[in-house]
Amino acid sequence: MSLPFMKMHGLGNDFVVIDSRKETNPLADSTISAIAHRHLGVGFDQLAVIENGSADAHLVFYNSDGSKSAACGNATRCIARHLMQETGKNDLHLTTERGDLYAKDAGNGLTSVNMGHPLLDWQDIPLAQNMDTLELPIDGSPTATGMGNPHCTFFVPDADAIDLARRGAEIENHPLFPQRTNVQFAHVIGPNHLRMRVWERGVGVTMASGSSSCATAVAAARRGLSGRSVRIDLDGGTLYIDWRDDGIWMTGPTMHVFSGTFTDDFLKVSL
């Protein structure tokens, strides 16, 4: 029953990664929740499973509450770096529920992934009803963006002054978002330079989020607050987002912290 895993993070946005390419490892919801516990398990913001697929690999993502997520940008970059080191390739084709994603070695230890095109229509994000996604009828007039998962971005005078735990939990469950939403608070530091903090759906406050950074960059560009290529400073460090004609490229560092094996005793208890 022993189960190998890797612990990785992108700017403190941390992951447990399970490689199921050689042996399928079905995970019960109770097992995912047990692994996510930061005192009784390992702890993670997302759990990612690497599977065989039609491309270099297929990735499946779970939030710490056991719910599935179609996209996780920082986990994708971490896994891409691992697969590049494993195969010697500098370019990868990955598949996810979000769709086809392409990753490349950006040099200097950085990894880039194309997160695809943003979803801007209300039904694609999705929202509960037809409305302008640029300014939602919520106090603060946030912008809604889909990145394979829903996002709600507020632009405020000072992101660091926001009670993120309180406001994030409120907005995550807002009735306009039938699938709940990730929540970002951002302010402009300078030309094409943003500061952003994030509350992740099904997780809570996180040090960074790749898909949230992409959504914030798109929202800022749509509102005329920045160009389409920006630097975003998060609690855990800096990501560079470039919204191009072929999709949104996200670039930043990754870290493979350690590898380990869940014991039989842990897995028996958590099943």
Query: In this predicted structure, what is the pLDDT of residue 83?
Result: 98
Q: What value does the mean pLDDT of the chain take?
A: 96
How many CB atoms are closer than 10 A to CB 97?
14
Phi, psi of 254 (to 5 degrees): -135, 165
Q: Does residue 56 carry a pLDDT above 90?
A: yes
DSSP, residue by residue, 118-145: PB-STTTTT-SS---SSS-SSTT--EEE
**Residue 205 identity (one-letter amino acid):** V
Same fold, 3-114+254-270 and 143-245: yes
- Out of 3.10.310.10, 1.20.140.10, 3.90.180.10, 3.50.40.10, the CATH code matching 3-114+254-270 is 3.10.310.10
- Out of 3.30.1950.10, 3.10.310.10, 3.40.50.300, 3.40.50.970, the CATH code matching 143-245 is 3.10.310.10
Instruction: Record the pTM.
Output: 0.93
Distances in whole angstroms, Cα of residue 165 to Cα of each of 7, 132, 183: 25, 27, 10
What is the average pLDDT across 255-261? 98
Cβ neighbors of 96 (< 8 A, separation 6 or more) are 58, 59, 60, 61, 70, 71, 76, 148
Query: In this predicted structure, what is the pLDDT of residue 24?
Result: 85
What does the DSSP 8-state code read for residue 226?
A: S
Predicted confidence band at 16 (pLDDT cuts at 50, 70, 90)?
A: very high
What is the average pLDDT across 184-188? 98
55 three-state secondary structure: coil
Query: In this predicted structure, what is the pLDDT of residue 236?
Result: 97
pLDDT digit string, tens, across residues 21-37: 998 888 888 999 999 99
pLDDT digit string, tens, across residues 127-157: 999 999 999 999 999 999 999 999 999 999 9
pLDDT digit string, tens, across residues 67-77: 888 889 999 99
Query: In this predicted structure, what is the pLDDT of residue 2?
Result: 81
pLDDT digit string, tens, across residues 202-250: 999 999 999 999 999 999 999 999 999 999 999 999 999 999 999 999 9
Q: Does residue 271 carry a pLDDT above 80?
A: no
Predicted confidence band at 1 (pLDDT cuts at 50, 70, 90)?
A: low
Q: Does residue 50 carry a pLDDT above 90?
A: yes
Predicted confidence band at 162 (pLDDT cuts at 50, 70, 90)?
A: very high
Residue with tokens 């194309």: 114
44 three-state secondary structure: coil
Beta bridge partners of 19: 50
Rounded-to-integer distance, Cα 117 and Cα 6, Å? 29
Residue with tokens 């800096």: 238
Domain boundaries, the chain: 3-114+254-270, 143-245
Predicted confidence band at 166 (pLDDT cuts at 50, 70, 90)?
A: very high
How many CB atoms are closer than 10 A to CB 39?
5
Cβ neighbors of 132 (< 8 A, separation 6 or more) are none
Q: Does residue 125 carry a pLDDT above 80?
A: yes
